[in-house]
Amino acid sequence: MSGKLDEIVAAKKREVHTLRHRTCYTRVPDGPRKIVASSLRRASGAPLRLIAENKKKSPSAGALSTALSTAERVVRYAESGAAMVSVLCDEEFFGGSWNDLFEARRALAAAGHPIPVLAKEFVIDERQLREAAACGADAVLLIARIVGREKLRELFVQAESLGLESLVEVMTEEELAWALEADARIIGVNARDLDTLVMDPERAARVLAAIPEPCIPLYLSGLKGPDDVRRLAATPAHAALVGETLMREADPGVLLASMVAAAESAQT
């Protein structure tokens, strides 16, 4: 690693040290977690699923909209057809927090929306997994590039023991091989290079096409509107993450609904 990703991981090491000296309290009632795989799996003839993300800033986009609170935004996502919501938990680089994750889960439950919640964090330690579980996550992001082959397998098993499903993010064929060795079932390909922040859709398409059945392939980053959704609907992807485009909207409902409609129309 180099560049921005190395900087983020260095910050995570400091944060983990702090977490280890803090008691982990369960903030939401224990209960069955949502089955992420069934929410994201795309049956033959079914539309592409969309994962809508909550983040307040990013290294590539800068400051994003905070017109809606985390709770208000994730409920709007659910109302507009999102199959899952992703909540950034990193504070320094993305303006998120573990409390955002808790607020998202609580708001969705109160509004009666049964969609799963992904804790999107740069996970390097089991302590972060326990925090995610305590805040109500159904799944957690594991980024192959930042943990390496052996640690990825270890974190995958630890997440499973906590009742969390793992969304394993890869960028290359080698990282895909690590994910498959770890028995990952939900595998996302990031079109953005986390070191350089440069988009490479051709590389992402190649790796996405290499994900074997019965895994659930996801496309991460770069969707801007309905046309992108229609294009991606013709690929092997079962679901796609929509982040910065929605976060630029004070009210993301209309845009997300149009993207969901594009996914549905692409199958007719």
Q: What is the pLDDT of residues 206-257, one digit of tens each?
A: 999 999 999 999 999 889 999 999 999 999 999 999 999 999 999 999 999 9
Q: Does 78 score more than 90 pLDDT?
A: yes
Neighbour count for residue 233 (Cβ, 10 Å) = 18
Q: Does 110 score more than 80 pLDDT?
A: yes
Each residue of 15-26: pLDDT tens digit? Answer: 999 999 998 988
State the total domains in the chain: 1
CA angle, residues 83, 84, 87, in degrees to nearest 5: 155
* Cα–Cα nearest to 99, from 77, 72, 73, 71: 71
76: containing domain:
3-265
CA angle, residues 22, 28, 32, in degrees to nearest 5: 120
Predicted confidence at residue 170, as pLDDT, reads 97
Q: Does this model's pTM top 0.85?
A: yes
| Residue 190 belongs to domain with CATH number | 3.20.20.70
Give me the mean pLDDT over the 126-154 stretch.
97
| Residue 5 vs residues 34, 50, 81, 143, 248: alpha-carbon distances, Å | 30, 26, 32, 11, 23
Predicted confidence at residue 33, as pLDDT, reads 78
CA angle, residues 239, 167, 240, in degrees to nearest 5: 20
Predicted confidence at residue 29, as pLDDT, reads 65
pLDDT band for 139, please (50, 70, 90 cuts).
Answer: very high
The pLDDT mean for the chain works out to 94
186: region left, alpha or beta (phi > 0 left; psi from -120 to 50 alpha): beta
Each residue of 27-63: pLDDT tens digit? Answer: 876 666 788 999 999 998 899 999 999 999 988 889 9
Helix, strand, or coil (residue 242):
strand
Give me the mean pLDDT over the 138-158 stretch.
97
Each residue of 169-216: pLDDT tens digit? Answer: 999 999 999 999 999 999 999 988 877 878 898 999 999 999 999 999
Helix, strand, or coil (residue 95):
coil
Helix, strand, or coil (residue 98):
helix
